[in-house]
């Protein structure tokens, strides 16, 4: 297939499936909490709606940073799709993309001038301090497979079996990272309802649409990387079942767990990272 | 050790005398990302922070003055360029030099603000960053002493890793953690982000995260686990 068509198709799939998985998550959470919940396509409709709404910008915003940052978030996750499903490139590059995304999340909050966005920005710095150690999972994968290139990791698993069985604690670390990105998770301190919607509070119209597209693609990509790196070569059905299963599991955790305060959230994440890193290294030495 | 197993296929090298820059998709992406952010910082104006006034229903607007704006923008742009350089350098000493420069610029960006809490946080971060420069450069020096080169491309081709190289890596990690203010040094640094001047403080966060990602690549090349 033509490269450009391949990229467009994968971005479209990532957006649509990511949106529907978010919708599914909200539905499952609602049912657990004995509420009817919104329809599964609600997140998708919500995203599209923002593109026909009026866009307004706060007079306090840092222009043109405030506008550029929302579009950059979208561009960054499109890059992730290119690095992932399209060219199956380096996981280190994916980590770089994730790091840039944290920066955008930070600045989307601070550039509006809103106190809620500002608090979200400070929390983003804290959460980055906790999520970066979780990304040590990449080093563990590298030590096990001797490569960071996704296509080589897939080949490794085709020969040696899924990595989830050989480095389960690393898989747990990555799962905690995915959980942190879920909007209603106990670790979602940057979007806590105590600070309204955090960095999204002052984004309206098209800019909010960009942020929501990015969220959907981000969710799809994190699940794709998890399944590809820890389960191995999967077909379309395998990916769909895996993504739905993880989304439902995370919805269950979200529905039954309160939002942690920032300090607790970071300590829990760092504890998971510490257990994951030390435990994986011990397991690799023993096995 | 093949650099391509980390950052993807080697796209090319830029030899500038002794300094050899190399490009993989990973380095290129980080380099371009840093430059895009730097350009945006250079052309952006700052936000106005709106705070509720205590004891009344009025708002308090916190702005960045013109003089402060100019000096902070200059420091932020230099910091962005230093970060971009750290992403593509093929030399361990240049990397440590740029990381130390980033640490100094980060202190400068925040210390131009006239707020006591922010200045206190900047002072504490500054102490850590200055102390961290010793293990940072010490690590690079020990790598040179134990391998005979500081070129990452040369180190990648060595077939051995000595205990001194491992020790030097530990010093480098300590130095980079202190300079970039990551855990366990992040607490004072996060306080610095309360200051107004969004486009400038983002470069502090950007430089830290990008340097950490690059450091992972360099440390894996030095230690050659396989």
- pLDDT, one tens digit per residue, over A78-116 is 999 998 888 888 888 888 888 888 888 777 777 887 778
Could you tell me which of B20, B138, B41, B113 has the C-alpha nearest to residue B83? B41
Tokens in use for A188?
A: 């979602």
Q: What is the 3-state secondary structure (H, E, C) of A18-36?
A: HHHHHHHHHHHHHHHCCCC
Per-residue pLDDT tens digits for A66-87: 888 888 888 889 999 998 888 8
How many CA atoms are closer than 13 Å to the CA of B172, on its beta-carbon side? 29
Per-residue pLDDT tens digits for B93-149: 989 999 999 988 888 888 877 778 778 888 888 888 888 899 999 999 999 999 888
Question: Do residue A118 and residue B49 have CB atoms under 8 angstroms apart?
Answer: yes
When the pLDDT of each residue in chain B is averaged and rounded to a whole number, the result is 84
CB distance from B27 to chain A under 8 Å? no
What are the two backbone dihedrals, phi and then psi, of residue A90, each rounded to the nearest 5 degrees? -85, 140
C-alpha–C-alpha distance, residues A256 and A114, integer Å: 31
A contact residues 63-82, partner B, Cβ 8 Å cutoff: 63-66, 68, 72, 79
**What mean pLDDT comes out for the span B199-222?**
86
Greatest distance between any 2 Cα atoms in chain A: 60
**What mean pLDDT comes out for the span A249-276?**
88
Residue B151 β-bridge partners? B91
- A27: how many CB neighbours lie within 10 A of its CB? 19
> Residue B20: which H helix or E strand, with range?
strand B19-23
Could you tell me which of B189, B215, B10 has the C-alpha nearest to residue A138? B215
Question: Do residue A65 and residue B41 have CB atoms under 8 angstroms apart?
Answer: yes
CB distance from B198 to chain A under 8 Å? yes
Question: Do residue A60 and residue B5 have CB atoms under 8 angstroms apart?
Answer: no
Rounded to an integer, what is the distance from CA A60 to the centroid of its chain? 29
User: For the purposes of burial, counting CB atoms within 10 Å of the CB of A95, is it exposed (0-12), middle (13-18) or buried (19 or more)?
Assistant: buried
Question: Do residue B47 and residue A152 have CB atoms under 8 angstroms apart?
Answer: no
Rg, chain A, Cα only = 19
* Chain A positions in Cβ-Cβ contact with residue B53 (cut-off 8 Å): none
DSSP state of B186: H
Q: From the candidates B205, B215, B220, which should be mutated to test the interface with A, based on the most A CB atoms within 10 A? A: B205
- Cβ-Cβ contacts under 8 Å for B213 (sequence gap 6 or more): A92, A95, A96, A99, B30
**What mean pLDDT comes out for the span A42-49?**
91
**What mean pLDDT comes out for the span B177-204?**
73
* Chain B positions in Cβ-Cβ contact with residue A99 (cut-off 8 Å): 209-210, 212-213
When the pLDDT of each residue in chain A is averaged and rounded to a whole number, the result is 86
Stretch among A176-185, B6-15, B171-180, B189-198 having the lowest mean pLDDT: B189-198
Q: What percent of chain A lies above the pLDDT cut of 70?
A: 100
CB distance from B24 to chain A under 8 Å? yes
What are the two backbone dihedrals, phi and then psi, of residue B23, each rounded to the nearest 5 degrees? -125, 120
First to last CA, chain B: 7
C-alpha–C-alpha distance, residues A30 and A254, integer Å: 10
Question: Do residue B213 and residue A95 have CB atoms under 8 angstroms apart?
Answer: yes
- Cβ-Cβ contacts under 8 Å for B37 (sequence gap 6 or more): A103, B80, B202, B203, B206
Contacts A–B by Cβ distance under 8 A: 143
* The pLDDT of residue B212 is above 90: no
* Chain A positions in Cβ-Cβ contact with residue B37 (cut-off 8 Å): 103
Q: What is the 3-state secondary structure (H, E, C) of chain A?
A: CCHHHHHHHHHHHHHHHHHHHHHHHHHHHHHHCCCCCCCCCHHHHHHHHHCCCCCCCCCCCCCCHHHHHHHHHHHHHHHHHHHHHHCCCEHHHHHHHHHHHHHHHHHHHHCCCCHHHHHHHHHHHHHHHHHHHHCCHHHHHHHHHCCCEHHHHHHHHHHHCCHHHHCHHHHHHHHHHHHHHCCCCCCCHHHCHHHCCHHHCCCCHHHHHHHHHHHHHHHHHHHHHHHHHHCCCCCHHHHHHHHHHHHHHHHHHHHHCCCCCHHHHHHHHHHHHHHHHHHHHHHHHHC
CB B149 within 8 A of CB B155: yes
CA distance B110 to chain A (A): 15
pLDDT at A22: 92
Distinct helix (H) and strand (E) counts, chain B: 9, 4
CB distance from B4 to chain A under 8 Å? yes
C-alpha–C-alpha distance, residues B212 and A181, integer Å: 21
* The pLDDT of residue B8 is above 80: no
Rounded to an integer, what is the distance from CA B112 to the centroid of its chain? 19
Nearest CA in chain B to A88: B8
Question: Do residue A62 and residue B46 have CB atoms under 8 angstroms apart?
Answer: yes
Given pLDDT bands bounded at 50, 70 and 90, which one contains residue B226?
low
Question: Do residue A111 and residue B29 have CB atoms under 8 angstroms apart?
Answer: no
CB distance from A106 to chain B under 8 Å? yes
Tokens in use for A252?
A: 């269950």
Question: Do residue A90 and residue B194 have CB atoms under 8 angstroms apart?
Answer: no
Tokens in use for A206?
A: 């098209």
CB nearest B198 (choices: A97, A111, A124): A111
Question: Do residue A79 and residue B8 have CB atoms under 8 angstroms apart?
Answer: no
- B123: how many CB neighbours lie within 10 A of its CB? 13
CA distance B174 to chain A (A): 14
CA distance B184 to chain A (A): 8
C-alpha–C-alpha distance, residues B49 and B44, integer Å: 16
CB nearest A113 (choices: B40, B50, B206): B50
- Which pairs from B121-129 meet CB under 8 Å and 24+ separation? B121/B188, B121/B189, B121/B191, B121/B192, B122/B192, B124/B188, B125/B181, B125/B185, B125/B188, B125/B189, B125/B192, B128/B178, B128/B181, B128/B185, B128/B188, B129/B103, B129/B104, B129/B178, B129/B179, B129/B181
Question: Do residue A110 and residue B47 have CB atoms under 8 angstroms apart?
Answer: yes
CB nearest A142 (choices: B26, B41, B220): B220
B contact residues 45-104, partner A, Cβ 8 Å cutoff: 45-52, 61
CA distance B31 to chain A (A): 11
* Chain A positions in Cβ-Cβ contact with residue B5 (cut-off 8 Å): 146-149, 152
């Amino acid at each position: 297939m033509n490269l450009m068509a391949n990229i467009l198709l994968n971005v479209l799939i990532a957006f649509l499936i990511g949106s529907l998985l978010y919708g599914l998550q909200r539905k499952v959470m609602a049912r657990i909490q004995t509420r009817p919940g919104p329809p599964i396509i609600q997140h998708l409709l919500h995203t599209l709606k923002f593109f026909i709404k009026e866009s307004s910008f706060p007079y306090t915003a840092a222009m043109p940073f405030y506008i550029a940052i929302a579009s950059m978030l979208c561009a960054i996750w499109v890059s992730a799709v290119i690095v992932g499903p399209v060219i199956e490139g380096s996981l280190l590059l994916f980590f770089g993309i994730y790091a840039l995304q944290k920066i955008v999340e930070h600045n989307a909050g601070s550039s509006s001038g809103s106190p809620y966005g500002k608090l979200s920005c400070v929390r983003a710095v804290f959460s980055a301090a906790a999520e970066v150690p979780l990304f040590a999972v990449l080093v563990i994968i590298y030590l096990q497979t001797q490569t960071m290139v996704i296509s080589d990791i897939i080949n490794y698993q085709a020969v040696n079996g899924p990595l989830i069985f050989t480095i389960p604690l690393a898989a747990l670390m990555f799962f905690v990272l995915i959980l942190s990105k879920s909007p209603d998770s106990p670790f979602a301190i940057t979007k806590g309802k105590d600070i309204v919607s955090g960095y999204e509070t002052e984004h309206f119209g098209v800019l909010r649409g960009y942020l929501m597209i990015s969220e959907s693609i981000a969710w799809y990509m994190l699940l794709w990387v998890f399944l590809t790196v820890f389960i191995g070569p999967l077909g379309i059905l395998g990916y769909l079942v895996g993504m739905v299963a993880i989304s439902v599991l995370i919805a269950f955790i979200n529905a039954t767990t309160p939002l942690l305060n920032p300090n607790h959230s970071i300590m829990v994440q760092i504890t998971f990272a510490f257990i994951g890193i030390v435990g994986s290294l011990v397991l690799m030495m023993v096995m | 050790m093949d650099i391509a197993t980390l950052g993807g296929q080697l796209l090319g090298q830029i030899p500038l005398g002794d300094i050899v820059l190399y490009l993989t998709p990973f380095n290129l992406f980080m380099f371009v990302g840093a430059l895009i952010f730097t350009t945006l910082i250079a052309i952006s104006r700052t936000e106005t922070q709106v705070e509720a006034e205590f004891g009344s229903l009025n708002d308090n607007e916190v702005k960045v003055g013109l003089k402060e704006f100019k000096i902070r923008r200059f420091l932020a742009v230099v910091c962005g360029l230093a970060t971009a350089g750290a992403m593509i350098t093929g030399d361990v000493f240049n990397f440590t030099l740029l990381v130390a420069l980033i640490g100094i610029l980060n202190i400068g960006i925040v210390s131009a603000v006239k707020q006591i809490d922010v200045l206190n946080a900047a002072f504490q971060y500054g102490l850590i960053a200055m102390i961290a420069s010793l293990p940072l450069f010490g690590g690079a020096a020990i790598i040179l002493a134990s391998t005979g080169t500081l070129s990452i491309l040369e180190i990648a081709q060595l077939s051995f890793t000595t205990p001194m190289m491992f020790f030097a890596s530990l010093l480098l990690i300590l130095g980079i953690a202190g300079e970039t203010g990551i855990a366990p040094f992040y607490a004072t640094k996060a306080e610095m982000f309360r200051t107004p001047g969004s486009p400038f403080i983002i470069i502090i966060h950007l430089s830290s995260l990008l340097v950490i990602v690059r450091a992972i690549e360099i440390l894996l090349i030095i230690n050659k686990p396989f």
